[in-house]
Amino acid sequence: MAVMVASCKPEQQGEPQMTANDSKEYLVNVGKEVLGTFNAADQKEAVEFAEGVYRRYETYDWDQIDDDFYEEFVNGRYKTIFSMPRRVAQIAAGQRMPSAEDAKYLFSLAGEGTTFTFDDATKTIKIERNNDGNIIVNFKDEKGTDCQLKIWGEGAETEYSYTYERYDWVCDDYNEEYDYCENGHDEYIGSTTITAKVPTTLKMTLKQSNKEITGFDMSLETKKNDHFYFSYNIRVVNMAVIFDTKVNSTNANMAFKFTYNDTPVLAASANLPKYELIGKDDNMEWCEWVELYAERYEYLLGKIGAGEAKLDVLGKIQVKATVSDFASLYKGYQEWGKKYDNYDYYDYTHDYTYSDKYGTYRDYYYAWWETPDHTLAAQDAWCKLYNDYCNAAVYYGNDVEQAKLKLQPYQETDVYTPYMHDPIQYSCYDTEYVFYFPKDDTSYSFEDYFTSDKFTSLVGMVEDLINSYIDLIDKDFDLGHIHF
């Protein structure tokens, strides 16, 4: 009797370890798959919608609308809700990009229930209060289809305040002959405090009939001395950008994802497993509290400990990086700077003279290649410090290490020509990242590896993709095609 025994070991996912050349083939194939994911025609309907809406409403007398509602809606309490329809229209028409300022405006809308209705007969906007706290903009597209922009909040409300100081320019020394202020100063004239109760989640949808063209969800949640959460989800037709960050009392992390037709194309994350939360006292504004985090990240004053980051492309290429000890790395960087980057600029300047038909002149040039931080010893020390604490590697869908990313010194030789001076040939040392492939024990700099002929086909695909989007929007701007 024959007995068949099946292995219970799961099938290995991803790719086996590859040589440098095999990796090139793999990277090119994945690159082609990424570029093939996008299709400019998918966004054609949304672009035509935005252009049509802009054409329909550019005939409105916006100056008259401003005048009609100036006192109540521009200078008064409805300033932010009056500004929002134009902001959204400009974003939809591609005239401006969404910004942090727009987020501030949106947050300030909490509780201001208002409905805007565009009236084509009078080419004005009818504005009414509503009781549900939503911001609603009713309008029609170029074909007369009903459309609606809706902004609303959900969840518990938290009060935030921000104080900014106002200054006015005062002229100290006025030049009567040239009608020009030569000297002056900023003079403090007062401060303004903005306070708003913001819901935990703010949502927006823009619909044509009942079909969503774009939308976003934005969440902000804070608890004093406990946590700080912020996330957003932006959707445009079949594309979505998802961002999430969390700072707890013991750790901090961030995650980003970009999807196309619900396919995760690009994802990134970073994590600080050990982190000390900064306490927020009762007299500290929220903006000051957040700024302290920025300072702590920049100067590494907190107990940050280790860190890790990951980049993922289509689930087929991953770059994973770790820092074993931020504090020690930063301390080493400071010591390196004191030894190699602590010099006087003028010690490395050289005077010279040159002449022309008008006379003889004196000038100088800065020989940066002679400075201590551009010596082999300095760059060797910096590479050792980096490689001791930082580890980065490339993977193809599993835990098999395909290539290590290391930092190494290299010698640069070039020519510098100061103004009216003979060319100066110089040589110095700098650093560069290299790929080390353990399969065939080879190393390549980024420049040497990615300028291979194997990647030329990708360049052509990138050109074609970008130009297809240019063709989609290039009706008024005359941008022209790009060529690398």
Token pair listed for 264:
């995760």
Q: Report DSSP state, residue 4.
A: -
For the chain, the average pLDDT equals 82
pTM score, whole prediction: 0.75
* 409-467 per-position pLDDT tens digit: 999 999 999 999 999 999 999 999 999 999 999 999 998 898 867 788 888 888 889 88
Q: In the predicted model, what is the mean pLDDT of residues 370-377?
A: 97
Q: What is the pLDDT of residue 4?
A: 38
Pick 9 or 336 by higher pLDDT: 336
Residue 72 has pLDDT above 60, yes or no: no
What are φ and ψ of residue 86, in 5° steps? -70, -40
Q: What is the pLDDT of residue 398?
A: 93
Q: What is the pLDDT of residue 47?
A: 86
Q: What is the pLDDT of residue 210?
A: 87
Q: In the predicted model, what is the mean pLDDT of residues 226-242?
A: 88
Range from 1-15, 283-297, 405-419, 443-457 that averages highest in pLDDT: 405-419
Q: What is the pLDDT of residue 386?
A: 96
Q: What is the pLDDT of residue 35?
A: 94
Q: In the predicted model, what is the mean pLDDT of residues 313-321?
A: 96
Residue 14 has pLDDT above 90, yes or no: no
Pick 79 or 351 by higher pLDDT: 351
What percent of the chain has a predicted confidence (pLDDT) above 90?
A: 42
Poorest-confidence range of 12-26, 46-60, 65-79, 129-143? 65-79
Q: In the predicted model, what is the mean pLDDT of residues 195-203?
A: 81
Inter-helix orientation angle 456-473/20-37, to 10°? 10
| pLDDT-derived band at 186, boundaries 50, 70, 90 | confident
Q: What is the pLDDT of residue 300?
A: 62
Q: Using CA atoms, how far apart are residues 40 and 22, in angstroms rounded to an integer?
A: 31
Poorest-confidence range of 58-72, 108-122, 222-236, 424-438? 58-72
What percent of the chain has a predicted confidence (pLDDT) above 70?
A: 79
